[in-house]
């Protein structure tokens, strides 16, 4: 059976809500849920030990990843880590009103990092029902993961998480 891990960079806790739902849906043990700020130490010893990685990050500033992802992302790119044979699913939080020009763009940046490193990225979601100006997370007309906007659309969060988990179960053949 594939080993699954959740790696989450969060500030306000929205991304961790998704992480907890993933843990419940896929029976992921607490030790395999990594808060990037508190529990992450090493790409080789932590990220590389999993077959399926659920990667979460809120979006900051001009569409940047959560600060806890900056060094690991650069390390993956600079050190040439090979994620071939690994599957990645992305999720994260953003604000489509205050930062609609970069809505959840951190997902797009992480997508590009992991894709270039050879990972199979799954869990694409339709853009229907979202209001935003632009997002680097949109790849081929779909979000490359699950964007959540608890600032403006909290009433849609639970349903979006459930829909995404259904998509993941199909994509992962579970």
| CATH label of the domain that carries residue 22 | 3.40.50.360
Strand blocks (E) in the chain: 4-9, 33-35, 52-57, 59-60, 64-65, 87-93, 120-122, 125-126, 138-139, 142-143, 145-148
pLDDT confidence tier of residue 13, bands split at 50, 70 and 90:
confident
Is pLDDT of 74 > 90?
yes
- The answer to whether 91 and 18 have CB atoms below 8 angstroms apart is yes
Q: Vertex 97, ends 91 and 101: CA angle to 5°? A: 75
Give residue 23's domain range: 4-171
Q: What is the pLDDT of residues 25-57, one digit of tens each?
A: 999 999 999 999 999 999 999 999 999 999 999
Give, as one character, the DSSP assignment of residue 144. S
Q: Name the pTM for this structure.
A: 0.96
Q: How many structural domains does the chain have?
A: 1
CB atoms within 10 A of CB 62: 9
């Amino acid at each position: 059976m594939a080993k699954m891990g959740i790696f989450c960079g969060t500030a306000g806790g929205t991304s961790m809500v998704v992480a907890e739902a993933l843990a419940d849906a896929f029976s992921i043990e607490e030790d395999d849920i990594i808060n990037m700020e508190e529990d992450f130490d090493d790409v080789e010893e932590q990220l590389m030990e999993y077959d399926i990685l659920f990667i979460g990050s809120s979006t900051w500033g001009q569409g940047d990843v959560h600060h806890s992802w900056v060094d690991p992302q650069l390390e993956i790119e600079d050190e040439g880590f090979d994620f071939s044979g690994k599957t990645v699913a992305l999720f994260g939080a953003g604000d489509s009103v205050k930062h609609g020009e970069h809505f959840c763009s951190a997902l797009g940046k992480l997508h590009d990092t992991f894709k270039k490193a050879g990972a199979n990225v799954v869990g694409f979601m339709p853009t229907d029902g979202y209001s935003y100006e632009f997002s680097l997370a949109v790849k081929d007309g779909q979000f490359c993961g699950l964007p959540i906007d608890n600032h403006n659309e909290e009433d849609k969060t639970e349903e979006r998480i459930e829909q995404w988990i259904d998509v993941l179960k199909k994509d992962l053949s579970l």
